[in-house]
Amino acid sequence: MEKRVLITGTGLGALTAALRLARRGYQVEMVEKYNQPGGRLNQIKKDGFTFDMGPTFFSMTYEFEEFVKDAGIDMPFRFRELETLYAVNFRGSDKRYYIHKNLDALAKEFEAVEPNFKEKMEKFLNAGGKFFHDVEHKVLKRNYDSLWDYMLAMATVPPKHAPRLFRSVWSEMERHFESREVKEIFSLVAFFLGATPFDTPAIYTLLSYTELVHDGYHNVEGGMYKIVEGLMDEIEKKNIKVHYNTEIVDYRSENGQITAFIDQHGKAWEADIFLVNSDAAYFRGKIFKRSKFNEKKLDKMRWTLAPFTLYLGIDKKLDNVPLHNYFLGDNFEEYAKKVFKNSITFEKPYYYVNVVSRSDPESAPEGKDALFVLCPVPDLRFKPDWSDKDEITRNIITDLSERMGIDLDKHIISQTVMTPEDWKDAFNLYKGSGLGLGHDLNQIGGFRPKNYDEEYGNVFYVGASTLPGTGLPMTVISSKLVVERISKKYGLLHA
Ligand SMILES: Cc1cc2nc3c(=O)[nH]c(=O)nc-3n(C[C@H](O)[C@H](O)[C@H](O)COP(=O)(O)OP(=O)(O)OC[C@H]3O[C@@H](n4cnc5c(N)ncnc54)[C@H](O)[C@@H]3O)c2cc1C
């Protein structure tokens, strides 16, 4: 008999889960709070410019290959590998370090500051690679039925990796490299996880291996939102209905099962199975009112950085600025340690700039450029008031102008700003945290909010704050894991 699944949310985890479930014969329907699909993988169109709202590149393309095969569809978008991953500039210097995937080219960038760079980097990457391959299948890409189950999986990881659980990314950098430039640049991976190198376990240096050796970084032809557009075409072909501007705020239950989710207008959405793509910790607290996830408890958890994002359209081309850029200051340790606690000002901010139109000319009108700026900031627990957003925007634009050697103010013809508050309001991100729950040892694997509900047998979760973690490839894995769980319980309804 056909089973009806209601999916709450249309983030990447939800869209990929919907297509995997449809392939297995489930009848899927989706409700979404925002006015268009994609969640954080979204798009802003304004004044003739098109901006990707959040993600700008991704790794582990083979997870998308696995997904299309499982869903029985063709790859609905085209991705391309980046040979130069990004460029990094330090305040007060004109030098730009280009991070190439080719190790010889990379070593040339650092020859003046780090003797024997190539040998040191090979050793560093080798250690990260060994850990990655020891955990990828045995620990990362699997479901857990209990904490014990997780502990048993962890016990299969060779003990030689154990010390890296207890060191930070920063101390791992110090063991391998001497120069400030190399240590700071290659510890930026911690920020990609939404944390800092000083409080992220050294095991995550495996991300340097995934970016520089394994599968590299990719972006999408025509912009990242093509992923969502491609998936939506497939969703339409499968007759999956999607309802926008529909927020789930309540529920009805009977005998340990949910019978309906209720939206903000009081409409009941009935189904046999409920798959939640809203943040897995937030939803349990806000909607199910679980005491383990009440505001006090959620506030005590480790959440990832909040985004302060600018979308700028300018009336000229910045031909000398690469696609992906990090602009760092001269007080890395102090800044990283203080920024998320709101104990440093944003006078001299650290930020990332993506010149979208460098790879996708159609994102800006002829002769113009579209810029995306992401500045990691404290979430609403530490900085609830964003009335100074114009001042922060001004600081970023002034700094960027100086470092690009152009008075941006004279050239900006379109400007949109999103504070953590806007991100929270758009997608129900807890206190504006950009990447969801952090990846501390007590918040991963068997300790992360589960992808099945503790109380209601027909409720499941998919997305960044449940297994395995944040980022686009992880949410694709998340959909694989939850669909495995649903199929195990309800069966394969047709092949
Ligand atoms: C600024 C920024 C930059 C990023 N850059 C990158 C990058 O370069 N590379 C990368 O791999 N990852 C990046 N990420 C992370 C990546 O975007 C996320 O990990 C991923 O998109 C999360 O997908 P998800 O499935 O968890 O769903 P989400 O994107 O969280 O979507 C959940 C959906 O559920 C909806 N929803 C929530 N509550 C309800 C409710 N009650 N009722 C109805 N609907 C609801 C929301 O509106 C949303 O559409 C970035 C994130 C941000 C914020």
Give the C-alpha separation, 445 to 292, whole Å.
18
Say if residues 293 and 284 touch (Cβ distance below 8 Å). yes
Q: 88: Cβ below 6 Å to ligand 1?
A: no
Close Cβ partners of 371 (under 8 Å, ≥ 6 residues apart)? 310, 311, 312, 313, 314, 318, 353, 354, 355, 356
Per-residue pLDDT tens listing for the chain (495 residues): 689 999 999 999 999 999 999 999 999 999 999 999 999 999 999 999 999 999 999 999 999 999 999 999 999 999 999 999 999 999 999 999 999 999 999 999 999 999 999 999 999 999 999 999 999 888 999 999 999 999 999 999 999 998 888 899 999 999 999 999 999 999 999 998 888 999 999 999 999 999 999 999 999 999 999 999 999 999 999 999 999 999 999 999 999 999 999 999 999 999 999 999 999 999 999 999 999 999 999 999 999 999 999 999 999 999 888 999 999 999 999 999 999 888 888 999 999 999 998 889 999 999 999 999 999 999 999 999 999 999 999 999 999 999 999 999 999 999 999 999 999 999 999 999 999 999 999 999 999 999 999 999 999 999 999 999 999 999 999 999 999 999 999 987 664
Class of residue 229 by CB neighbours under 10 A (exposed 0-12, middle 13-18, buried 19+): middle
Say if residues 311 and 453 touch (Cβ distance below 8 Å). no
Q: 41: Cβ below 6 Å to ligand 1?
A: yes
User: Which structure tokens are listed for 173?
Assistant: 């950098």
Q: Report helix, strand or coil for 286.
A: helix
Q: Report helix, strand or coil for 319.
A: coil
Say if residues 455 and 253 touch (Cβ distance below 8 Å). no
Q: What is the distance, to the nearest Å, from the Cα of residue 347 to the centroid of all Cα atoms in its chain?
A: 26
Say if residues 11 and 276 touch (Cβ distance below 8 Å). no
CA-429 nearest atom, ligand 1: 30
CA-9 nearest atom, ligand 1: 34
Close Cβ partners of 336 (under 8 Å, ≥ 6 residues apart)? 196, 197, 198
Give the C-alpha separation, 138 to 132, whole Å.
10
Fold agreement between 4-43+58-79+222-301+438-490 and 130-211: no
Q: Where are the domains of the chain?
A: 4-43+58-79+222-301+438-490, 130-211
Q: 42: Cβ below 6 Å to ligand 1?
A: no
For residue 306, list its beta bridge partners: 377
CA-465 nearest atom, ligand 1: 26
Q: 464: Cβ below 6 Å to ligand 1?
A: yes
Beta strands in 296-426 (DSSP E): 306-314, 324-328, 351-355, 369-377, 412-418
Distance 40 CA to ligand 1 centre (A): 3
Q: Report helix, strand or coil for 85.
A: strand
Distance 119 CA to ligand 1 centre (A): 38
Q: What is the distance, to the nearest Å, from the Cα of residue 424 to the centroid of all Cα atoms in its chain?
A: 15
Give the C-alpha separation, 223 to 192, whole Å.
19
**CA-nearest residue, atom 27 of ligand 1:** 11
Give the C-alpha separation, 82 to 65, whole Å.
18
Q: 34: Cβ below 6 Å to ligand 1?
A: yes
Give the C-alpha separation, 102 to 119, whole Å.
14
- Name the residue with tokens 């376990």: 201
The Cβ-side half-sphere exposure at 463, using a 13 Å CA radius, reads 31
For residue 253, list its beta bridge partners: 258
Q: 374: Cβ below 6 Å to ligand 1?
A: yes
User: Which structure tokens are listed for 287?
Assistant: 């909607």
Query: Cα angle at 57 between 466 and 276, to 5 degrees?
Result: 25
**In CATH, what is the architecture of 130-211?**
Orthogonal Bundle (1.10)
Distance 124 CA to ligand 1 centre (A): 31
**CA-nearest residue, atom 4 of ligand 1:** 55
**CA-nearest residue, atom 8 of ligand 1:** 55
Say if residues 445 and 437 touch (Cβ distance below 8 Å). no
**CA-nearest residue, atom 49 of ligand 1:** 39
> In the chain, what's the furthest Cα-to-Cα distance?
69
Distance 54 CA to ligand 1 centre (A): 8
CA-434 nearest atom, ligand 1: 53
Distance 269 CA to ligand 1 centre (A): 23
- Choosing from 40, 220, 483 the residue with most ligand 1 atoms within 8 A of its CB, the one to mutate for a pocket test is 40
Q: 32: Cβ below 6 Å to ligand 1?
A: yes
Q: 472: Cβ below 6 Å to ligand 1?
A: yes
Q: 470: Cβ below 6 Å to ligand 1?
A: yes
Q: Which amino acid is at 485?
A: R
Q: Report helix, strand or coil for 179.
A: coil
**CA-nearest residue, atom 7 of ligand 1:** 55
**CA-nearest residue, atom 41 of ligand 1:** 248
For residue 51, list its beta bridge partners: 44
Class of residue 65 by CB neighbours under 10 A (exposed 0-12, middle 13-18, buried 19+): exposed
Q: 463: Cβ below 6 Å to ligand 1?
A: yes
Close Cβ partners of 322 (under 8 Å, ≥ 6 residues apart)? 84, 86, 87, 96, 98, 355, 358
Closest CA to 169 of 145, 202, 194, 139: 202
Q: 8: Cβ below 6 Å to ligand 1?
A: yes
CATH superfamily label, 4-43+58-79+222-301+438-490: FAD/NAD(P)-binding domain (3.50.50.60)
- pLDDT for 130: 93
CA distances from 460 to 9, 12, 90, 204, 455 (A): 13, 16, 45, 28, 11
For the beta sheet containing 257-263, the strands, ordered from the edge strand earlier in sequence to the opposite edge, are 248-254, 257-263, 268-270
Kindly report the pTM of this predicted structure: 0.97
Distance 37 CA to ligand 1 centre (A): 10
User: Which structure tokens are listed for 9?
Assistant: 């949310």
Q: 58: Cβ below 6 Å to ligand 1?
A: yes
Close Cβ partners of 273 (under 8 Å, ≥ 6 residues apart)? 3, 4, 5, 6, 26, 458, 459, 460, 486, 490
- pLDDT for 492: 75
Give the C-alpha separation, 250 to 176, whole Å.
52
- Choosing from 42, 44, 277, 359 the residue with most ligand 1 atoms within 8 A of its CB, the one to mutate for a pocket test is 277
CA-249 nearest atom, ligand 1: 41
CA-426 nearest atom, ligand 1: 47
Q: 13: Cβ below 6 Å to ligand 1?
A: yes
Q: 435: Cβ below 6 Å to ligand 1?
A: yes
